[in-house]
Structure 1
Amino acid sequence: MTPHLPAAARRPLRSLVALIAVAALVFGAAACGLQSGGALPLPVKPGSITVQPDLEGQTITVGSKDFTEQVILGYILGFSLAAAGANVRDLTNIQGSNSARDAMAAGQVDVTIEYTGTGWINYLGNEQPIPDSTKQFEAVRDADLAKNGIVWIDPAPMDNTYALAVNQENAAKTGVKTLSDYAALVKKDPATATTCVETEFRSRQDGFPGMAAKYGFDPAQVRMQILQTGIIYQAVANGNCVFGEVFTTDGRIKALNLNVLEDDKQFFPHYNAAVTMRSDVNEQFPSIAKVMAPVMAKLTSEQISELNRQVDVDGREPADVARDWLVENGFVKV
């Protein structure tokens, strides 16, 4: 979903590796490009996660996209598998959903944590989400396995969906509380509805174009600014953008006292996080599901929001935050 620049900037070498890898996929360069991921930045020892015979000493490449939550989830996945005995290659921080997905399909990445809404809309090409989160997961799981040989397991309760947000002053000034209110404002007075979004949201069917169609307004009427998502939160808080794209589990929403507009027509899909891997990886390493099930079950929206806040507000490293959370919950030891 959305990139977080500070986390990426702190990992120039890995970012370079990821960008080289993406270029290799796009331009058909040697497939080995993505295999140059490094070791995990911090050590872990088994806790409640114990060494599994099928994972012990085996090399597994863990990937993630390039925004804060995804990098944290990538490290949670990587540290968990390392505690189970795997030799984990760290290929977190791949730029963009499609590049991360292509890396898995090409065999460059073995396992990631992905979102059900992204799978259903972006990868499988469906236009309408399924309102029930369990049924949405089951539909993605079954369709992606049948069509692409991708296995989905261990869905988490956390649900990181898209939203629009506004600061307190502009909420009072415009009276906008819901996306229906926002649509009415766009139609009546588009000059007052300046909206900041990132590039991917602007073009995704489960993003701004689909939302505009659902709520009945012309997206061309909107005064739109394209920003990196890490900048959007502060821009909305400062009033430089009246409205801005946010993610509902982002810790900056609470930290900056932003109001999230109610999706009163329930357009945005559920984005429950789940472990994904190719079917050959699942067959070779059946213990991944066993190892990750209790970890994923702990990942509520509140939990991941707090972890995101520690990175985006407190300035901590995603790897430190991920490992500390696993230690606090007894999954690993240091």
Structure 2
Amino acid sequence: MFDAIFEHLAISLSALLIAIVIAIPLAILLSQNKKMAEVVLQITSILQTIPSLALLGLLIPFVGIGTVPALIALVVYALLPIFQNTYIGLSEIDPSIEEAADAFGMSRTRKLFKVELPMAMPVIVSGVRTALVLIIGTATLAALIGAGGLGTFILLGIDRNDPSLTLIGAVSSALLAILFSGLIRFLQHRSMKATLIALAVIFLGIGGIFFAQHNPIAGETVTIAGKLGAEPDILINMYKDVIEDEDSSVNVELKPNFGKTSFLFSALQNNQIDIYPEFTGTVLESLVEVPEGTETDGSPDKTYEEANKLLKDQFDMQLLEPMEYENTYALAMRREQAESMGISKISDLVAHEGELRAGFTLEFIDREDGYRGIQEKYGLNFGSVQSMEPALRYQAIQNQDVDVIDGYSTDSEIKQYDLVTLEDDMRLFPPYQGAAIMRGEFANDHPNVVNALNRLAGKITEDQMIEMNYEVNVEGKQPAQVARDFLVKEKIIEEGN
């Protein structure tokens, strides 16, 4: 919780500082040029109308994921209120006061700091206050691209269907906004010197704590990230435990709920993370370019071999030996409805495609081994297909808002809601065995890490994974404890290590 708060504040206050450094000098420069000021106001107004998710999506191809695109987006949204208020505060100073300052023989610089800025300071600080409240609220979206912060709790609450987690993130963000808004309001009518000193103390304090948490001279850190959900969270905690058991000198940092597949792979390519759990089928379907004419026999072994080979050839990456279980895609229905309609396999859906409503994730809709592949291979086209976040589709089928959803074969919700998964009778979905993926250079430089992770090769059955997911999602156990309990029980690590 405290880590998330300081991440949130570090991102928010850094963005505010950058926006202040850009907007206030620009407004001062253009305060005597009304036409140019109006142009800048129009540009900043247009930038603020861009939806935050769209802006983040546009930035990712250029600057990757993580803190940098989040900072850029937040700065863009903060420019308008700071620039606008600074410009208004300076341009609406009584002309007679300006004339008096000139009569006293003040230089332009002296007049700015002794007369204009002190008089405009309440209006300027009001703009800073507005910008900070806007930034703190918008910064929750940073969690979508792996930048952390309180948005992590919101995403986790949605994924696990746990309103308490969502409330923790939302309420904490709101309280931070209220707290800092009140602080800036208190400073609004203080002297310019007092205001600048107070703001400097805040920035240095938060920056110091953030530096202490991410100290670049504290030694090498192995960064392990995971996708959103209980299963990736369990797996990265297993990775941490076996690595530290192998070599206690290794400092392992976990980044849970980092984002979707494309975000994680991009972060791995750009050295923002070192390892994350991936699936053999996902590598072939989404990450590598499979040469035309390449065929596998559909077996787990051949799928892994081909995925590892193409990763090495195209990205100089390595996929370690996979675990036993497969977390393959599946279509699921309410057991009662499937039995009453006589549906047990995907091809059975064709006869009822017009009357059944589907609820799929965006990723599944757009994948060749997802709905696009189902349409082509099975000739199946549902009359209604709604896109939704992963956790919401289980709520939707439970509430009978949809009839068919996509899922994973190890999802705890299949057990929790008494759903039935339909047989993939035309073998569309390739094998999906979980395995650690890393850059080839990292693997060569860290043989101890590779040896540690190879302890998990061939381990974890599908039933064991479903049970562990159930313990986290339904019984409310911590992923770290579930992971450790399994490793100790299976004698992969010793108790107490």
**TM-score normalised to the size of structure 1?**
0.81
Classify 1:140/1:320 alpha carbon distance in 2 versus 1 (closer, same or farther; 3 Å): same
Structure-1 separation of matches of 2:469 and 2:254 = 19
Q: Per-residue deviation at 1:24?
A: 7.2
Q: Per-residue deviation at 1:294?
A: 2.4
Structure-2 separation of matches of 1:10 and 1:254 = 34
Equivalent residue, structure 2, for 1:316 = 477
Equivalent residue, structure 2, for 1:176 = 343
Structure-1 separation of matches of 2:61 and 2:494 = 37
Give the 5 Å matches for 1:128-167: 130-167=297-334
Equivalent residue, structure 2, for 1:122 = 286
Task: Note the alpha carbon deviations across 1:241-275, whole angstroms, 9 max, x for none.
Answer: 21111110112212221111100001011110111
Structure-1 separation of matches of 2:266 and 2:289 = 15
Q: Per-residue deviation at 1:22?
A: 9.0
The answer to whether the aligner puts 1:259 opposite 2:404 as a matched pair is no
Q: Which moved more, 1:224-233 or 1:195-204?
A: 224-233
Q: Per-residue deviation at 1:10?
A: 12
Equivalent residue, structure 1, for 2:63 = 28
The percentage of aligned residue pairs carrying the same residue is 28
Tell me which of 289, 295, 305 is aligned to 2:466.
305
The one-letter code sitting in structure 1 at the alignment partner of 2:417 is L
Tell me which of 204, 212, 229 is aligned to 1:67.
229
Structure-2 separation of matches of 1:14 and 1:230 = 27
Structure 1: which 5+ residue stretches go unaligned?
Answer: 1-8, 39-56
Q: Per-residue deviation at 1:230?
A: 1.6
Residue pair 2:7, 2:148 contacting (<8 A) in 1 also:
no
Equivalent residue, structure 2, for 1:233 = 394
SS in 1 for 2:431: coil
Q: Per-residue deviation at 1:31?
A: 8.0
Aligned residues: CA RMSD: 3.2
Classify 1:148/1:13 alpha carbon distance in 2 versus 1 (closer, same or farther; 3 Å): farther
Q: Which moved more, 1:85-94 or 1:23-32?
A: 23-32
Classify 1:310/1:22 alpha carbon distance in 2 versus 1 (closer, same or farther; 3 Å): farther
Structure-2 separation of matches of 1:277 and 1:24 = 24
The answer to whether the aligner puts 1:111 opposite 2:284 as a matched pair is no
Query: Which is higher, the Rg of structure 1 or of structure 2?
Result: 2
Classify 1:268/1:234 alpha carbon distance in 2 versus 1 (closer, same or farther; 3 Å): same
Paired residue total: 302
Structure 2: which 5+ residue stretches go unaligned?
Answer: 12-52, 69-144, 150-218
Structure-1 separation of matches of 2:65 and 2:397 = 42
Classify 1:252/1:32 alpha carbon distance in 2 versus 1 (closer, same or farther; 3 Å): closer
The one-letter code sitting in structure 1 at the alignment partner of 2:356 is A
Structure-1 separation of matches of 2:320 and 2:430 = 19
SS in 1 for 2:369: coil
Residue pair 1:133, 1:270 contacting (<8 A) in 2 also:
yes
Task: Note the alpha carbon deviations across 1:183-207, whole angstroms, 9 max, x for none.
Answer: 2321xxx1x2111111111111211
Higher relative contact order (CA 8 A, sep 6+): 1
SS in 1 for 2:457: helix
Residue pair 2:280, 2:304 contacting (<8 A) in 1 also:
yes
Structure-2 separation of matches of 1:273 and 1:130 = 19
Classify 1:254/1:309 alpha carbon distance in 2 versus 1 (closer, same or farther; 3 Å): same
Q: Per-residue deviation at 1:80?
A: 1.7
Classify 1:91/1:120 alpha carbon distance in 2 versus 1 (closer, same or farther; 3 Å): same
Classify 1:11/1:267 alpha carbon distance in 2 versus 1 (closer, same or farther; 3 Å): farther
Task: Note the alpha carbon deviations across 1:58-84, whole angstroms, 9 max, x for none.
Answer: 421111111221121111112221222
The answer to whether the aligner puts 1:217 opposite 2:252 as a matched pair is no
Structure ranking higher in helix proportion: 2
Structure ranking higher in strand proportion: 1
Structure-2 separation of matches of 1:287 and 1:71 = 22
